Amino acid sequence: MSTVKDLADYHELVSDLFRLPKTTEEWQQYRLSDEQVAHFHEFGYVSGIKMLDEGQVETLRNELAEIVDSDHPGHHLFYEFHSNESEDPNSVLFHSLGHWRITPGFHDVIYNPAFVMAAHQLLENKPVRFWHDQLFCKPAKHGGVVAWHQDYSYWTRTIAMQHLTCWTGLDDASVKNGCLHYIPKSHKWGLLDAPSLAGDMNGLMDYLNDEQKEQFKNPVAIELKKGYATFHHPLMVHGSYENKSEMSRRAFVLNVFADGTISNTDDELLAGVPSIPKGQKMEGKFFPLIFDH
């Protein structure tokens, strides 16, 4: 039996990577401006939010290097682990869920004050619960795509739709190495069908009308320095192209929802996590309350 602790048992910081503010004044430095919040609601995203300093980026890179090894002693704690989700060796996309349970840094980023404060504001000032994390890593020269999609199209097992995604780079992300792209205002299109995430970039096109297809002629590239984040709406259409550059593109994603979200299924919500009966509130060990200010 593994001796690795399941960090999902700890609903607080377990390392000194971050320091939680103690006063309302200390929290103020992490607040998004009214303009940033308005941009999110109009366009479906807000970008360029500083999440991590150089030292914090380095800590997470080191933890990432350990856990991509499928022989890591905490491997059984992942919900999903795909060394290459595309299955094409020339188009590699490492994708995992559940690493918050394995290493202290990836556990504690969930409680990062810069993250939880922004999430709280973008979820209309509601208390915030953790949903799940993801890693998306594209190696240099042969990194694969993430197909155009809406996050909530994979999450209809939870309702109401009051979710939020935060993508943070552990490398500088540019057009050259496969940064995220958005279709502005696509969060107002309603829910579309869910394509396969790896392989065919344009699987979503089968579900679009002519007017929506026209919008794809002007996607917005979200170029970010490492340690910086972009937040987007659960219906925001987004994807990222392949990485043929000399530089890797590593990133982690934090997905959250407003407190009060309920299970929409009697099935497992995440692999290995005890089911929450349909109609019951999402809470407990695996869905901790991370901000209630």
148-180 pLDDT, tens per residue? Answer: 999 999 999 999 999 999 999 999 999 999 999
What is the CATH class of 50-70+78-268?
mainly beta
Q: How confident is the model at residue 199 (pLDDT cuts 50, 70, 90)?
A: low
Amino acid 194: pLDDT: 78
Amino acid 143: pLDDT: 84
What's the whole-model pTM score? 0.96
Mean pLDDT, the chain, whole residue set = 94
Mean pLDDT of 47-51: 98
10-44 pLDDT, tens per residue? Answer: 999 999 999 999 999 999 999 999 999 999 999 99
**Percent of the chain residues past pLDDT 70, beyond the cut:** 98
Q: Any idea which residue has 């996309």 for tokens?
A: 93
Lowest mean per-residue pLDDT among 125-134, 136-145, 238-247, 284-293:
136-145
Q: Where are the domains of the chain?
A: 50-70+78-268
Amino acid 6: pLDDT: 98
59-118 pLDDT, tens per residue? Answer: 999 999 999 998 999 999 999 999 877 677 777 788 999 999 999 999 999 999 999 999
Amino acid 163: pLDDT: 98
Q: How confident is the model at residue 134 (pLDDT cuts 50, 70, 90)?
A: very high
Amino acid 145: pLDDT: 87
Amino acid 1: pLDDT: 44
Q: How confident is the model at residue 2 (pLDDT cuts 50, 70, 90)?
A: low
Amino acid 285: pLDDT: 98
Amino acid 93: pLDDT: 80
Q: What is the secondary structure of the chain as a DSSP string? A: ------GGG--S--SSS-----SHHHHHTTPPPHHHHHHHHHHSEEEEEE---HHHHHHHHHHHHHHTSTT-TTGGG-SEEES-TT--TTSB-EEEE-GGGT-HHHHHGGG-HHHHHHHHHHTTT--EEEEEEEEEEE-SSSB--EEEE-GGGG-TTEES--EEEEEEESS-B-TTTT-EEE-TTGGGS---PPPPSSS-TTGGGGG--HHHHHHTTSPEEE-B-TTEEEEE-TT--EEE--B-SSS-EEEEEEEEEETT-EE--SS-SSTTSPP--TTSB--STTS-EEE--
